[in-house]
A and B are shown apart, each in its own frame.
Chain A
Amino acid sequence: DSGVTQTPKHLITATGQRVTLRCSPRSGDLSVYWYQQSLDQGLQFLIQYYNGEERAKGNILERFSAQQFPDLHSELNLSSLELGDSALYFCASSPNTQAIYGYTFGSGTRLTVV
Chain B
Amino acid sequence: AQTVTQSQPEMSVQEAETVTLSCTYDTSENNYYLFWYKQPPSRQMILVIRQEAYKQQNATENRFSVNFQKAAKSFSLKISDSQLGDTAMYFCAFTSDSGAGSYQLTFGKGTKLSVIP
Contact = CB atoms under 8 A, between A and B. Distances in A.
What interface size band does chain A fall in? 20 to 34
Contacts, number: 63
Contacts of B52: 100
Contact of A58 (B44, B100, B104, B108): B104
B62 to A, nearest CB: 17
Contact of B103 (A58, A99, A107, A108): A99
B104 A45 contact: yes
Contacts of A50: 102
Interface residues of B, number: 28
Nearest to A103: B105
Contacts of B76: none
B43 to A, nearest CB: 6
Interface of B: 33, 35, 37, 42-47, 50, 52, 91, 93, 95, 97-110
